A and B are shown apart, each in its own frame.
Chain A
């Protein structure tokens, strides 16, 4: 039995509180986005020399002169190749693990969970350092292969977690029904399970792609003389970053957004 004046007081106080929170939220979002905005803007900077420090006018020319720096182009190419490779391999391996963890109860369940957790929680520095120690120990040399191996390693867990979350929400009876109707396990998987988990696999794959293409710390340890986009940036900061870096960054950012939107849309369309 609430006294009559109280709700009014509460509501008005709530409204200013709400408004404050609204403004605050947008401030934080703006703050988070500020460097991105700067990166995108300075990709349109009409700068004369190589130094992209002060605003000198708007231009699209850098989008046309994107591939002028061979070392940078090669680095981006390496990044893309490795990211695609990571997405495919980690996507496959992670999906399998996610299926297992979400669907079955088995002896190694807790341990597998723990290892997944350990990979996600471990500092990248330590993982990179241990990988370098490993590759040096076995005399494997460093390069694109070792980078790919490292990227797949830390991506598997992320994909597995995403897929597992999805699998846990699946209605097992649909699969039971399919089996009752005579479908073999592979057919069941192909026609029933896979479409249901596909959005999660896509999301996991996107995650692996983004993690791989932007990774710096672990790549720094396992790359040797190979460069990837983040490594090239790190090495080039002393001379000042050319506008092409901003353009490449903007493009990669745009691709990531597109894939994320696609993934979100596809998951919304599926009723389960």
Chain B
């Protein structure tokens, strides 16, 4: 009876091809060492050839899991890297976790955009160096694939994830970007839509086309991520990103170029502060951010999923392969799937929670509360931004997936000039 869930869209790749892509080939390091131009490079090649020959073939998941987790034990601390506005600043959930397990959590909001994050950790991970974090929350998309293909993620031991097994929604156990959830379990899902300040903009905002309205000249914000930009450019023209071709991308880029004269700046996570300071009045935005901003600063910004569509994405918890405290990490990851914890998280951050049982729990909290709290919690339980319905999902699209690196480069070169000039 259940129609095709949006999270299980047809895999873009033949599984055999996927397996081939994830096979560890000649590493970048080895390729560089074999080539040579200057004498110095040649001298390095001579040194480097000795270290070559470390090609591990794809191992079946079971082996890899056992191998990674063998001999690892609890250390009493865990470092988590995540995005801003994903956690109550008071961190009640983390404090409760520490009380329950004795593990101290160092939660750092150091990730602001996927591109720069991957570029930042890639040199260390490829050198086998720890990056200082045991959990990283990364979005499905180009960089997620790069993480997997580069063997930077530790395979998860699902026997250590009982809460996840019991409480995660069915669709969250069947991701296309990580079949079988070998490397990740979802943190939250979210929607890219439009946020605006109703105090400055009196008319209701409902469409992507509103971001192109010349009346808001100089007060429009957009993301500087090509994936986000590209999707909006395509959706405003009625193009389905999933089926888009290079010609479509060009049309979308042209449309975005038209918009440049009214755009104040292309932002990363900092768009929310620009909105808060009045630098922009209407901006591309992520669904939950606005609510925390409203709570912490007493504003009343609004978030809408545009008529033409919005972008759906999932941020996932992963363990880097050089993590120093993986056992503590996986315990923390599982903790977030406890229904009570998931409910309090959702109540604060207002993103799409992967634990459906949180909804009745929030409704229960609402009935137990009174006054403003009651209204607020009831609103959260009913919010399509936290518990979307099938109709809501139908309006949403994913980031464009790419068959190979060349395609992705092409996409990048088409949209990059918009941000860089």
Q: Answer yes or no: A and B touching, Cβ < 8 Å.
A: yes
Contact between chains at A224 and B269 (CB < 8 Å): no
Q: State A136–B73 Cα separation when bound (angstroms).
A: 32
Contact between chains at A139 and B126 (CB < 8 Å): yes
Partner of A224, one of B112, B121, B273: B121
**Given the complex, which residues of A lie within 8 Å of B132, measured CB to CB?**
225-226
A240 and B123 contact, Cβ closer than 8 Å, known pairs A139-B29, A225-B133: no
Interface size class of A (residues with CB under 8 A): 20 to 34
Partner of A137, one of B32, B106, B121, B270: B32
Contact between chains at B128 and A141 (CB < 8 Å): yes
Q: State A224–B116 Cα separation when bound (angstroms).
A: 11
Q: State A87–B184 Cα separation when bound (angstroms).
A: 44
Q: Nearest A residue to B132 by beta-carbon distance? A: A225
Q: State A238–B224 Cα separation when bound (angstroms).
A: 15
Q: Is B239 an interface residue (CB 8 A)?
A: no
Q: State A225–B32 Cα separation when bound (angstroms).
A: 24
Q: Nearest B residue to A237 by beta-carbon distance? A: B270
Q: Is A71 an interface residue (CB 8 A)?
A: yes
**Given the complex, which residues of B lie within 8 Å of A132, measured CB to CB?**
123
Q: Is B370 an interface residue (CB 8 A)?
A: no
A239 and B120 contact, Cβ closer than 8 Å, known pairs A137-B32, A141-B128: no
Q: State A225–B116 Cα separation when bound (angstroms).
A: 11
Contact between chains at A142 and B124 (CB < 8 Å): yes
Q: Is B108 an interface residue (CB 8 A)?
A: yes
**Given the complex, which residues of A lie within 8 Å of B120, measured CB to CB?**
224-225
Partner of B123, one of A141, A235, A238, A239: A141
Q: Is B198 an interface residue (CB 8 A)?
A: no
Contact between chains at A238 and B44 (CB < 8 Å): no
Q: Nearest A residue to B267 by beta-carbon distance? A: A238
Q: Is A55 an interface residue (CB 8 A)?
A: no
**Given the complex, which residues of A lie within 8 Å of B128, measured CB to CB?**
141
Q: State A224–B131 Cα separation when bound (angstroms).
A: 8
Q: Is B364 an interface residue (CB 8 A)?
A: no
**Given the complex, which residues of A lie within 8 Å of B32, measured CB to CB?**
137
Q: Nearest A residue to B296 by beta-carbon distance? A: A49
Contact between chains at A239 and B273 (CB < 8 Å): yes
Contact between chains at B123 and A136 (CB < 8 Å): yes
Contact between chains at A224 and B108 (CB < 8 Å): no
Q: State A137–B36 Cα separation when bound (angstroms).
A: 12
**Given the complex, which residues of A lie within 8 Å of B269, measured CB to CB?**
238
Contact between chains at A140 and B273 (CB < 8 Å): no
Give 16 CB contacts A-B under 8 Å. Answer: A135-B123, A139-B126, A139-B127, A141-B126, A141-B127, A142-B124, A224-B123, A225-B120, A225-B121, A225-B133, A235-B112, A238-B84, A238-B112, A238-B268, A238-B269, A240-B273
List A residues at the B interface (Cβ < 8 Å).
Answer: 70-71, 132, 135-143, 224-226, 235, 237-240
Extra contacts besides A141-B124, A142-B124, A224-B129 (10): CB < 8 Å = A132-B123, A137-B32, A137-B44, A139-B127, A140-B127, A141-B127, A142-B129, A225-B124, A238-B84, A239-B84
A-B residue pairs, 9 tightest by C-beta:
A141-B127, A238-B270, A141-B129, A141-B124, A225-B131, A139-B29, A224-B124, A225-B132, A139-B127
